[in-house]
Structure 1
């Protein structure tokens, strides 16, 4: 059985080591999620966020002073040049918002503008639940699609890789206590899309090669997977790099409001490429290996 491709890399040789690494990271993420939880932003937690634009550079110390003079707890202050974002863990009344704005007007002049974003407890809980449902529903439909287009082994492998990517990003945000909000959910759903795209490209090549291959044992199966991944490696790398550069520029040049979205995308893109090549494909081979054994037993002649 011979295939032509430019890369000669034995991806299957160390597949168990990569899977062990992923399992360790996943378990570490579970520990942090249960012990630390997620740093839920105002979208998933009751509170008020004020985005203030003064037309002048706002110092963090000055913003803290203005809020303290207004009689409010400091909150989480995120400066960004002429803009500052302040998140409070309680819902501010209109009088309290006006008092804070007046403090900035006094310090920076009449050009101060303020944008208020308030979420109450019931809405925060509802948004958190719907975010989880969105990821789960997307995963179920992807699994059904892959199972219909390919076979159940491809579907199981694709979903394992997909959930691995999503959970890896969630684990990183939990470990470093980064804020999780609606833009983070958008990033997770985007990552799911790119991850399944990479996986489908490789699976499509595996299925095509499988049609002309004579698989007699697990070594033949490993060779087929190595060849298929190698044949699609250039395309996978180019696709990831193209999107990665865009996400990196957003992370460097974008504002604070999309910083975590960009970071989640950067981590997810790298993780998606890794899982498609080193998790999904080897896992499919392992599942397919069992069918080779069962096929052999079925084909064995009956003893008279």
Structure 2
């Protein structure tokens, strides 16, 4: 079926009075254009702007909770047999005269350990703390013998975390450059701009969530941030591919606008985006459960957190931000803007009431006019006078 035939079929079902009533899930699965996303883009732009503003304010005012790999310090670890987080924290404070940065439990069962994150300790402080922990908890090594060697103390430099961040930023710049070149070559520059804007949105909001909730930023978090960019980009390209298919040759048609066809593409790929997000989230949630209940906090949890947040944010941006932004740019510059004005002017002159008109902005020089009322006694159009020979 051609694009013009599709347009005709869709127009026959978009009259406000004849739109068939279907259940929410029926409209969701059929993807017939019943959900107006592009037409409500001003609302979505406001919501998106508010989300970005909150994220940036949190980043500026609250900042991030950086892990030991970024800030440096000393990491102390001992078996949790007979030790608790509170008792270890109290002993640390009594021995060294200051509070530790963090005390947490890692693992489960026989491999359960207590980890202490501290500011950098010198050799005297480390030995003093190790002796106090050994005297209090009598930890056992892997062979089951009571030994001070069961307590491990390691100094962590912030240089390594800085190197990871620097390499991640370089990878991010290269990634965005390749993405921009590919989408511009495969589709067009406006789609490239929209896709990159969605990626920046994903990064900003994910970072903002980490700042608001106080998640610890680790090297695993940085790696996860790069991972969610690929996920978000995949979802956006799928939608753009359908938009490109639906709008091919749109300038030669006069029944529907670019925005209406783009909204149809969103509806046709909406269920796919939802399914992809749900299927992606399920193993991530499972990984978080394993990390929290079985293995304790650590690298696995950090990676799962950023993936969970990024997938949800990426799904939102591909549906409610990238495509509406694309339509907003297309319908203000270039031949699509001229075509949209022609379509709306044609509708206004004919007085046609269309639900799809809401998916494209009405230019200031185009006024919607209602059909004039018939004169009293006038014959219906198309009727011949029977008395006329």
Superposition TM-score tier, normalisation by shorter sequence: 0.7 to 0.9
Task: Name the counterpart of 1:136.
Answer: 173
Q: 1:111 aligns with which of 133, 137, 141?
A: 141
Length, aligned pairs only: 295
Structure 2: gaps (5+ residues): 11-28, 143-149, 340-389
C-alpha displacement of 1:96: 4.2
The answer on whether the counterparts of 2:235 and 2:273 sit within 8 Å (CA) in structure 1 is yes
1:288 matched to 2:325: no
C-alpha displacement of 1:40: 1.4
The answer on whether the counterparts of 1:53 and 1:114 sit within 8 Å (CA) in structure 2 is yes
**Inter-partner Cα distance in structure 2 for 1:218 and 1:177:** 51
For 1:3-82, list aligned pairs within 5 A: 6-7=30-31, 8-50=34-76, 52-54=77-79, 56=81, 58-71=83-96, 73=98, 74-80=100-106, 82=112
The answer on whether the counterparts of 2:285 and 2:304 sit within 8 Å (CA) in structure 1 is yes
CA offsets 1:239-295 (integer angstroms, 9 cap, x no match)? 111110111111222131132322221111111111101111111111211223666
Q: 1:256 aligns with which of 297, 314, 328?
A: 297
C-alpha displacement of 1:10: 1.2
**Inter-partner Cα distance in structure 2 for 1:242 and 1:293:** 36
**Inter-partner Cα distance in structure 1 for 2:266 and 2:72:** 47
SS in structure 1 of the partner of residue 248 of structure 2: helix
C-alpha displacement of 1:94: 5.1
Q: 1:147 aligns with which of 174, 177, 184?
A: 184
1:269 matched to 2:294: no
C-alpha displacement of 1:71: 2.2
The answer on whether the counterparts of 1:146 and 1:155 sit within 8 Å (CA) in structure 2 is yes
SS in structure 1 of the partner of residue 279 of structure 2: helix
**Inter-partner Cα distance in structure 1 for 2:255 and 2:174:** 34
4+ aligned runs moved over 6 Å, structure 1:
none
**Residues 60-69 or 102-111, more deviating:** 102-111
Q: Tell me which structure has the larger Cα radius of gyration.
A: 2
Task: Name the counterpart of 1:302.
Answer: none
TM-score for both structures, normalised by structure 1: 0.85
**Inter-partner Cα distance in structure 1 for 2:252 and 2:309:** 36
SS in structure 1 of the partner of residue 239 of structure 2: helix
**Residues 286-295 or 159-168, more deviating:** 286-295
More helix, by proportion: 1
C-alpha displacement of 1:143: 1.6
Task: Name the counterpart of 2:114.
Answer: 84
TM-score for both structures, normalised by structure 2: 0.68
C-alpha displacement of 1:98: 4.9
